Amino acid sequence: GQSLEQPSEVTAVEGAIVQINCTYQTSGFYGLSWYQQHDGGAPTFLSYNGLDGLEETGRFSSFLSRSDSYGYLLLQELQMKDSASYFCAVREHNQGGKLIFGQGTELSVKP
Amino acid sequence: NAGVTQTPKFQVLKTGQSMTLQCAQDMNHEYMSWYRQDPGMGLRLIHYSVGAGITDQGEVPNGYNVSRSTTEDFPLRLLSAAPSQTSVYFCASRALRGQGNSDYGYTFGSGTRLTVV
């Protein structure tokens, strides 16, 4: 089975950079994903790392190191609207690649 | 495109009642799944399907049934509701094969908030 660990809460100020870490224990997976969720609404897809290294999408970047069983989401130029919960998730090595989530990190952006 | 549509948005059940949560997607996605979200627990996979006629169990399948008769629909049935099934339920879908990293993203419905009393 899979196990993903994230910090439960992170606080940062507007305009700053914040990194949300995700460590995992897994028997094998296709890739690491990140999702954003505002106020219990529908989670929305942010990024996917199938290979080791950095993926950049605008203000958001995501990183994966399989050798370290570690990934992170980097948010730059923080805005108040970035206050949300962020989830890492792994797509398992099995039929269809089911997606297993971490427990989420609540990010609070302060003025 | 409507994306993933879940109905109802809210539901209150009495213990022992049964009901079906509906999920439909119009993106021709092969993969569909159901999650429940409880405070501090993240999203936990209930059941999933990789195509019509194929379903499998996730992390927390007990008390729930699913079927996949068409590509578009993936209903979740609560057989005999219990207070422990009070939760927010999300349906999600994805194409099985993608070209780039963005194709590996799952599209979620807006959720069904279920209370069992």
Q: What is the rounded distance in angstroms from the CA atom of residue B33 to the CA atom of residue B76?
A: 10
Confidence of residue A29 (pLDDT cuts 50, 70, 90): confident
Q: What pLDDT is attached to residue B2?
A: 76
B35 in Cβ contact with B92 (< 8 Å): yes
Query: What is the tens place of the pLDDT at every residue in A64-105?
Result: 999 999 999 999 999 999 999 999 999 887 656 688 899 999
Query: What is the tens place of the pLDDT at every residue in B46-91?
Result: 999 999 999 999 999 999 999 999 999 999 999 999 999 999 999 9
**Of B116, B93, B115, nearest to B104 (Cα)?**
B93
Q: What pLDDT is attached to residue A13?
A: 97
Which of helix, strand or coil describes residue B104? helix
Which residues in chain A are closer than 8 Å to B93, comparing Cβ atoms? none
A49 in Cβ contact with A77 (< 8 Å): no
Q: What pLDDT is attached to residue A27?
A: 73
Annotate B67-86 with DSSP letters as a single string.
--SSSSB--EEESS--GGG-
Which of helix, strand or coil describes residue A89? strand
Peptide bond before A111: cis, by omega within 30 degrees of 0? no
* Cβ contact, residue pair A47, B37, below 8 Å: no
Which residues in chain B are closer than 8 Å to A32, comparing Cβ atoms? none
Phi/psi of residue A82, nearest 5 degrees: -80, -10
Confidence of residue A54 (pLDDT cuts 50, 70, 90): very high
Q: What pLDDT is attached to residue A3?
A: 86
Q: What pLDDT is attached to residue B105?
A: 87
Which residues in chain B are closer than 8 Å to A40, comparing Cβ atoms? 37, 88, 111
Q: How would you classify the pairing of strands B10-13 and B64-66?
A: unpaired
Q: What is the rounded distance in angstroms from the CA atom of residue B74 to the CA atom of residue B81?
A: 19
Average pLDDT, chain B: 92
